[in-house]
Every structure is written in C-alpha cells, then in structure tokens.
Amino acid sequence: MNLLIHPTQELFGSTAVPGDKSISHRAAMFAALAEGRSHVRNFLPGGDCQATLGVLRGLGVAIEEISPSELSITGVGLHGLHEPAAPLDCVNSGTAMRLLAGLLAGQPFFSVLSGSSQLVKRPMGRVVEPLRQMGALIHGRQGGRLAPLAVQGTRLHGIDYTLPVASAQVKSALLLAGLYSDGLAIVRQPGPARDHTERMLAAMGAPIQTLGLVAISERPKQPLTPLDIAVPGDISSAAFLLAAGLLVPQSHLTITGVGVNPTRTGILDILQMMGANLRLENERDEAGEPVADLVVQHADLHGIEISGDLIVRAIDELPVLAVLATQAHGRTLVRDAAELRVKETDRIATVAAELHKLGAQVEERPDGFVIDGPVTLRSAPVWSHGDHRLAMALAVAGMVASGPVLVEEAACVSDSFPGFERVLQVLGVEMEDG
C-alpha cells in the first residue's frame, strides 16, 4: 500500500488513537501469567501486538478476541505455560522478543524465538548477556547477539545489573526473569525508561519495587491477580496527530484518552519548548496509568536542543520531531539518540535520507541530527523502509509540502496505528491510499 498525501489547509475535530503498544504487549503477556480470566479493552490490534498474541497461543494460552481490540485471556498462572511445538514468531516486534526472552529463560522447557528479516537484524545481546548472568541458557546467531534465539529454560539466580542504555525492553526482560529466579533481580537505569511493566505487575500483586531509577523484582509468593483494564491511547501514535495539528495552518484538534505516563511525555515537553499551543484536559487515571485529552492548535515553532533524559522519554517520537524541525525557525539539534540506529530501521539514516528527498536541511550525526528550518518541502516520492513510524512521519511532512507526497510501502503503519489513514481523512487530510 502507498499513501498519497496532498497539501492540507486545515485540520479540525476530535479523535481517539489506538491503544498503547507497550501497554498492550504487557497486558497480554502478564494476563497470561495470572490465575483467572483477564479482560483487556482498547488492546492495540496492530501487527506487533498480534505477534505477541500468536506467541502466547503457542505457549498454550487461550485468548478470545471479543473484537480485535477487546480480549478475554485465560491466565495459566506463573507456572502454567506449555512448551511450544514450533518456533515462536515475534514478526517485527522487538518488544515481544526481548520481553519473552526474559519470561522464557526461567520456564521448565525449550523454546525458540524468531521473527521477520527486519527483527533478526536487531541487537539481542543486550538482553541475552544479562540473562546469561542470571544463569539463562540462550543461544543465537553470532554468539547470541542476533535472533533466532533458542532458550533452554532453567533455574535462574538473582542479578544486580546496571543497564548500559536506558531500555525498558531490557529492564522488563530482567524483571520478568526475576519472577522465576532464586534471588532479587535489581535493575539500575541510566535514565527513566518507560515503567509500564513495574506499574502493571505491581497492580497484579507481584513483588516489584521501584526506588528512583532502580527497579527490583523477585519470585511472587502469591498468584498474580487477573487484569480488568482499558489500555490508554498511545501517545506515540498521538504524536503524529499533534505534529499535524501544529504544522497545518488553522488547525484545532483534540485527541482523547491518551496515556500521559511521565516516562512517555518527553514529546509534550519538547513541543512546549518549541512554542506549541498544547494543553492537557480531563486528566484522570486508568489502571494505574495517567490519561488525558490533548488539545492542540497550529503554532509557529522554533528550533531547540534536545539531549539526555528527554531523549529517553521521547525516543519513538524523534522521526516526527524531525519533520516538525524542518518547519521550525532556526536550528534543532538532537543528541544522545544513538539508540535510534537500532530501532525498526536505523532511524537517523532513514529519516535523513527521506527528508532529503523532500528538500529538508538535515545533517546526520552519529548520535542524532541537526535540522535547519523552516524549509518549504517539495513534492516527491518517499519510502517508509518498512518502518511504521517513518511512514507516518513522512505522511505528516506531506501535509505541509508544496505538492503531493507519495509515501511508498506504507502498510507498515498498522504495526502500531491501524486505521491511521481513516483518522487522517476524518480530521481533514486530503489523501488517497492504494
């Protein structure tokens, strides 16, 4: 599928975005470990989370899809997973593979985690290495640095580990392994990686503690209680609509029910620093996660410097931030973001390559980029590289280009934002798909 985006004059209206990807993965996995039936509403029916459901079914978990976004999951208990008869396909999902590596390391059976040609290129040593320090028996290509991963479940012991990079996926893998280990799993973070695992497991009665940037898990003495939750809207998906509302003149948008966990709101801070007209309304709490409606209006933006913890709290939003920076007055400098190079694609290289095609002034740096604006983007075909966040960022660029922008290979948007095209059309974007 390609998306042809036309220059857009005005965006107006109110919409929700699909459920948070990180929280949806965790809800499915942790519900599988509970004793009893969990009810999950607003589950993200995107490709990545569907992959997690497929893996859980392969491990013997019964999942009823009441609708694509409403699940009834019959938990098998902490010790009820079954040895899978076939490799477990994580498709494109790094979150699925890394969290599952931690979960499977302490099970009394053998399993293999595999995935798409994109996923088997992404670094797995960051999770395999500390799990091996806990006693895990995991093999993979290149000494365990790349999937497929073969996991021979075994008895684990505790660990006191300092993450070399702030990664919620690695933190979560170790905390999950800690539920099956003989000692504590103590994970020290260099920055505030998203904490959905800690919040959700604690809400289910698991012995999880957090002390500042340290998270600790241990073997539970009681079963996990089932979940009854509505997954908040994904702020990483909302970011594309916020960007569109800011860039397209005369826009006024409300995005309802968005998760605003402070480990995820770096993009809101960044937008405000750039001069955005943005406010939170109707702030509330759902299933231990803060939620709000986001209201945005068109504004003239200016360039800023971003580094450190702000990068950790906005890592998935940096592709669309790059598009915003092309329209902001002055220079935007992104540092400390080398992690972008190991996402679904090397997002420093792919963002720079595609924005260059539109005439943007982007300079690649080893750990980020420098963008000078404002520049009138031109009409040109661009390529998603099979990366959902790049496809959606380029669609936003198309709304403010001087002529139509064709985003090629855009079906990947449904990895995290199924229905993206429909939402854009309802808000007033002039576009065609096909």
Give a three-class secondary structure readout of 358-375. Answer: CCCEEEEECCEEEEEECC
Binding mask 129-168 for ligand S3P (x = CB under 6 A): --------------------------------------xx
Residue nearest to ligand S3P (CB): 22
Cβ contacts of residue 353 below 8 Å, gap of 6+? Answer: none
Active site residues: 316
Contact in structure between 277 and 298 (CB atoms under 8 Å):
yes
52 binds ligand S3P (CB under 6 A): no
**Pairing of β 361-365 and β 368-373:** antiparallel
- Window 78 to 107, contacts with ligand S3P (CB under 6 A): 95
Contact in structure between 349 and 378 (CB atoms under 8 Å):
no
Q: 386 to each of 29, 92, 176, 345, how far by Cα in Å?
A: 26, 10, 30, 8
Write down the least CB distance from residue 25 to ligand S3P, Å: 6
The secondary structure of residue 414, as a DSSP letter, is: G
**Is-cis flag, bond preceding 164, omega within 30?**
no
Q: What share of the chain is helix, strand, coil (3-state, %, to 5)?
A: 35, 30, 35
Given 50, 52, 69, 169, the residue binding ligand S3P (CB under 6 A) = 169
Binding mask 194-213 for ligand S3P (x = CB under 6 A): x-------------------
316 binds ligand S3P (CB under 6 A): yes
The secondary structure of residue 233, as a DSSP letter, is: B
In b/e form, how buried is each residue of 26-52, taking b as 16+ CB within 10 angstroms?
bbbbbbbbbeeebbbbbbbbbbbbbbb
Residue in 6, 3, 59 with CA at minimum distance from that of residue 28 = 59
Write down the least CB distance from residue 367 to ligand S3P, Å: 14
**Cα–Cα distance measured from residue 138 to residue 51, given in angstroms and rounded to the nearest whole number:** 21
HSE toward the beta carbon, residue 270, CA cutoff 13 A: 33
Q: Given the complex with ligand S3P, which of 172 and 237 has the nearer CB atom?
A: 172
Q: Given the complex with ligand S3P, which of 48 and 354 has the nearer CB atom?
A: 48
Binding mask 172-191 for ligand S3P (x = CB under 6 A): x-------------------
Bridge partners, residue 428, by sequence:
none
Binding footprint of ligand S3P, residue count (CB under 6 A): 11
- Window 239 to 278, contacts with ligand S3P (CB under 6 A): none
Write down the least CB distance from residue 326 to ligand S3P, Å: 22
- Window 337 to 396, contacts with ligand S3P (CB under 6 A): 339
48 binds ligand S3P (CB under 6 A): no
Q: Given the complex with ligand S3P, which of 293 and 317 has the nearer CB atom?
A: 317
Write down the least CB distance from residue 95 to ligand S3P, Å: 4
Binding residues vs ligand S3P (CB under 6 A): 22, 95, 167-169, 172, 193-194, 315-316, 339
